[in-house]
Amino acid sequence: MNPEKIESPTIDQVGVEERVAKLKSRSIKKDSKVHALKMAMSMIDLTTLSGDDTPGKVRQLCYKALHVHDAYPGLPTVAAVCVYPSMVKVAARHLEGSGIQVASVATSFPSGQSNLSLKLEETRYAVEEGASEIDMVISRGRFLAGDVQYVFDEIATVKEACGKAHLKVILETGELSTLDNVRRASDLAMHAGADFIKTSTGKIAPAATLPVTLVMLEAIRDYYYETGVKIGMKPAGGIRDSKTALQYLVTLRETLGNDWLSPDLFRFGASSLANDLLMQLEKQRTGRYQSADYFSLD
Amino acid sequence: MAEKKIKSTEIESSNGQVHASGRVLVDKTYKLYIGGAFPRTESGRYTPITLNDNSVVNICEGSRKDFREAVVVARKAQSGWSKRTAYNRGQILYRIAEMLEARHAQFVDLLEQIGSENPAGEVDASIDRIVHYAGWSDKYQQVFSTVNPVSGPYFNFSVPEPTGVVAIICPQHNPLLALITNLLAGVVSGNACILIIPPINGAVAITLAEVLHTSDLPGGVVNIITGSEAELVPHVSGHMDVNAVVYASDHQDILRLIQSESSANVKRVIARQYEDWSDAELEGPYLISDTVEIKTTWHPIGQ
């Protein structure tokens, strides 16, 4: 396929921001709020991606994924745990049989500045270690230089290397500078075989924002109309509180409808969000504003 | 729309005050003080207070959500404030006295407007009390710390640490002095405080916020919410992230409510009920000790 032929509409930035502002003003209360908070919890990819990750730290994160807050009956578990390839084995061992997925970043995360064969090697390694989801980064440098063919082929080959594993393609929108580029990169990734498109690595600011997410969701909608294939969405980085998470869910529901309100098609890349959701759920249950003192450390 | 020409003599500020020159006086909008900023109440509600000169000021009626925001910023600010050196905290608190002295006349006027009996005396006493507590900042530790005798080769120390986020419910009488006393006794040890002020005292408290704001006090260390005590108290005492409540107002039923609600996270509840806040009992280190926790440390001798 010739990626030059993929048509992307231009984005009306003012219009996007206006729509987002409108969606942000939506207020969700009581039972609907509890439902939404639980849904957001079930969509979290609990993430630890730092140089000082140790097997112990990853084990602890897996424990948290399995026991988010045992004191709250009927709480859903998170969707996945997201780690570096070297930690996949540890995570996979601890999450075996739980239904929680193991996601691994790959392809020289976070910069993506390496050659293709190394990236493929890393992808295969992560899958062999037990990752069921791969979060790859695109080569932003190549994309910005106009070499869309390279970016397209890279995504397609990594998808091949993933085998059965799901592929999430990180656009790193903070480095793409315009919403037009975000839309173009989204279309490129979906046509090249992405199962999910993801906003950011979480390593640079700005990470996920609502306008960027809306543009990507609209790209997913148009791709669905064109091909009938449902692509997932994952905003990542900077989503720390329940209020923001609910704004994302509203935007999702209003753009793609109820089908996408599922961890199969929407994820939050976050770690501190889980505790804030818990604190809000406990607030709804007990009527008391909660304190971080009574919840696990992240 | 037809333009209407207004003669300067016809112009009145909302308080009906016109300067001799015919210039319209600019009224102050009293808002809340949260996180080093002056936001309006989230609820949009106001209580009009009629002053002695028959002018009216609108005081924000703070809501549970204003209080919630205040707790979040107070929690964030508290650790930084308590990590400052005791000496530095003393310097900053002393600066509040400097700032207040410069605004002496303004506060005397404000207190007169809400019918205080001895406005000048209250402002004087308040300034002196600030200086008093500022001085304790690096001294109260010596009073309350101990070296404890233990059977074994260990040193055993007990030292005071700030309790954390302290909510203070202020009384209606002695608007300035009661506020200053409770506030200073709380922040001097490194606590972050949230003051609940009866609307009648709102103008005094929010003008004091301007003083605090220009005293190098980090944003969030002191937060001021004006509003109904009866409405806010259940949320204050039920909040899991508030570590202590100082009840300085004088409704016994509300105090009991605070005591029972505070059991949820075992908050400290401190009742201070004084008819006259210039009482000498309110000086000294003991008010400070109400909102500190004693930490005991064992340390092997010779290591």
Query: Would the CB atoms of B240 and A287 count as touching at under 8 Å?
Result: no
pLDDT of residue B302: 82
- Determine the residue of chain B that is closest to A294 in CA distance: B240
pLDDT of residue B30: 96
Contact A86/B at CB under 8 A? no
Contact A293/B at CB under 8 A? yes
Q: How far is A294 from chain B (nearest CA, A)?
A: 9
Q: How far is B156 from chain A (nearest CA, A)?
A: 27
Question: Quick check: is B24 in a domain?
Answer: no
- Residue A269's φ and ψ, nearest 5 degrees, are -90, 105
Residue B159, strand partner residues: B295
pLDDT of residue B206: 97
Question: Quick check: is B83 in a domain?
Answer: yes
A288: chain B residues, CB-CB within 8 Å? 238-240, 264
Question: Quick check: is B41 in a domain?
Answer: no
Look at strands B154-162 and B56-60 and give their pairing. unpaired
Three-class DSSP category at B224: strand
Look at strands A101-106 and B56-60 and give their pairing. unpaired
Answer whether A249's CB lies under 8 Å from A213's CB.
Answer: no
Query: What topology is assigned to A9-286 in CATH?
Result: TIM Barrel (3.20.20)
Three-class DSSP category at B111: helix
Owner of token pair 């975000």: A182
- Return the number of CB contacts < 8 Å for A and B: 23
Q: How far is B166 from chain A (nearest CA, A)?
A: 14
Active site residue A38: no
- Domain holding B101: CATH number? 3.40.605.10
Give me the residues of B, 9-68, that contact A with CB < 8 A: 68
Q: What does the DSSP 8-state code read for residue B125? A: H
Contact B238/A at CB under 8 A? yes
**Is the pLDDT confidence value at B5 over 70?**
no
Q: Of all helices (H) and strands (E), which one includes residue B295?
A: strand B292-300
Contact A115/B at CB under 8 A? no
Among A186, A170, A44, A193, residue whose Cα is nearest residue A110: A170
Query: Would the CB atoms of A293 and B68 count as touching at under 8 Å?
Result: no
Range of weakest confidence among A283-292, B6-15, B280-289: B6-15
Mean pLDDT of A140-147: 95
The pLDDT tens digits for A180-218 are: 999 999 999 999 999 999 999 999 989 999 999 999 999
* ipTM confidence score: 0.84
Give percent of chain A with pLDDT exceeding 90. 93
pLDDT of residue B26: 86
Q: How far is A283 from chain B (nearest CA, A)?
A: 10
Contact A30/B at CB under 8 A? no
Cα four-point dihedral sign A54, A57, A59, A61: negative
Kindly report the number of other CB atoms within 10 A of residue B35's CB atom. 19
Mean pLDDT of A272-290: 94
**Is the pLDDT confidence value at B272 over 90?**
yes
What span, in angstroms and rounded, lies between the C-alpha atoms of B213 and B286?
27
Question: Quick check: is B79 in a domain?
Answer: yes
Q: In a 10 Å sphere around its CB, with 0-12 CB exposed, 13-18 middle and 19+ buried, how is residue A52 labelled?
A: exposed
pLDDT of residue B9: 43
B240: chain A residues, CB-CB within 8 Å? 288-291, 293-294
A293: chain B residues, CB-CB within 8 Å? 240-241
**Max CA pair span of chain A:** 57
Residue B57, strand partner residues: B49
What span, in angstroms and rounded, lies between the C-alpha atoms of A85 and A105?
7
pLDDT of residue B13: 53
A135, A187, A195, A276: the catalytic one is A135
Active site residue A203: no
Question: Quick check: is B179 in a domain?
Answer: yes
Kindly report the number of other CB atoms within 10 A of residue A262's CB atom. 14
pLDDT of residue A55: 97
Residues in chain A: 298
Tokens of A98: 């739980």
The pLDDT tens digits for A98-118 are: 999 999 999 999 999 999 999
Mean pLDDT of A117-141: 96
Question: Quick check: is B51 in a domain?
Answer: no
Contact B267/A at CB under 8 A? no
Active site residue A198: yes
- Select from A288, A292, A293 the Cβ nearest to the Cβ of B264: A288
Tokens of A206: 């700005």
Query: Would the CB atoms of A289 and B240 count as touching at under 8 Å?
Result: yes
Long-range contacts from A254-257, C-beta under 8 angstroms, 24+ separation: A254/A23, A255/A214, A255/A217, A255/A218, A255/A221, A256/A217, A256/A220, A256/A221, A256/A224
Q: How far is A289 from chain B (nearest CA, A)?
A: 5
For testing contact with chain B, the best of A276, A285, A289 (most B CBs within 10 A): A289
Residue A106, strand partner residues: A136
Query: Would the CB atoms of A293 and B71 count as touching at under 8 Å?
Result: no
Query: Would the CB atoms of A291 and B235 count as touching at under 8 Å?
Result: no
pLDDT of residue B2: 45
Contact A291/B at CB under 8 A? yes
What span, in angstroms and rounded, lies between the C-alpha atoms of A284 and A30?
7
**Is the pLDDT confidence value at B3 over 50?**
no
pLDDT of residue B16: 60
Segments forming the whole domain that contains residue B282: 58-300
A89, A187, A234, A276: the catalytic one is A234
Contact A73/B at CB under 8 A? no
A292: chain B residues, CB-CB within 8 Å? 241
One-letter amino acid at B301 equals I
CA atoms in the 13 A half-sphere facing the CB of A165: 28
Tokens of A258: 């109820």
Question: Quick check: is B129 in a domain?
Answer: yes
Show Cβ contacts of residue B157 under 8 Å, excluding neighbours closer than 6 positions.
B145, B146, B147, B148, B296, B297, B299
Q: In a 10 Å sphere around its CB, with 0-12 CB exposed, 13-18 middle and 19+ buried, how is residue A59 labelled?
A: middle
Contact B297/A at CB under 8 A? no
What span, in angstroms and rounded, lies between the C-alpha atoms of A213 and A237?
12
What span, in angstroms and rounded, lies between the C-alpha atoms of A184 and A31?
39
Task: Annotate B46-91 with DSSP letters as a single string.
Answer: EEEEE-TTS-EEEEE---HHHHHHHHHHHHHHHHHHHHS-HHHHHH
Question: Quick check: is B10 in a domain?
Answer: no
pLDDT of residue B7: 43
A45, A187, A198, A276: the catalytic one is A198
Q: How far is B257 from chain A (nearest CA, A)?
A: 15
Number of domains in chain B: 1
pLDDT of residue B14: 56
Show Cβ contacts of residue A148 under 8 Å, excluding neighbours closer than 6 positions.
A3, A4, A184, A188
Cα four-point dihedral sign B211, B213, B218, B224: positive
pLDDT of residue B20: 74
For testing contact with chain A, the best of B76, B241, B245 (most A CBs within 10 A): B241
The pLDDT tens digits for A43-99 are: 999 999 999 999 999 999 999 999 998 889 989 999 999 999 999 999 999 999 999
Q: Place B24 in a pLDDT band, splitting at 50, 70 and 90.
A: confident
Q: What is the mean pLDDT of chain A?
A: 95
Contact B266/A at CB under 8 A? no
One-letter amino acid at A212 equals V
pLDDT of residue B6: 41
Q: How far is A32 from chain B (nearest CA, A)?
A: 20
Helix/strand/coil (H/E/C) assignment for every residue in chain A: CCHHHCCCCCCCHHHHHHHHHHHHCCCCCHHHHHHHHHHHHHCEEEECCCCCCCHHHHHHHHHHHHCCCCCCCCCCCCCEEEECHHHHHHHHHHHCCCCCEEEEEECCCCCCCCCHHHHHHHHHHHHHHCCCEEEEECCHHHHHCCCHHHHHHHHHHHHHHHCCCEEEEECCHHHCCCHHHHHHHHHHHHHHCCCEEECCCCCCCCCCCHHHHHHHHHHHHHHHHHHCCCCEEECECCCCCHHHHHHHHHHHHHHHCHHHCCCCCECEEECHHHHHHHHHHHHHHHCCCCCHHHCCCC
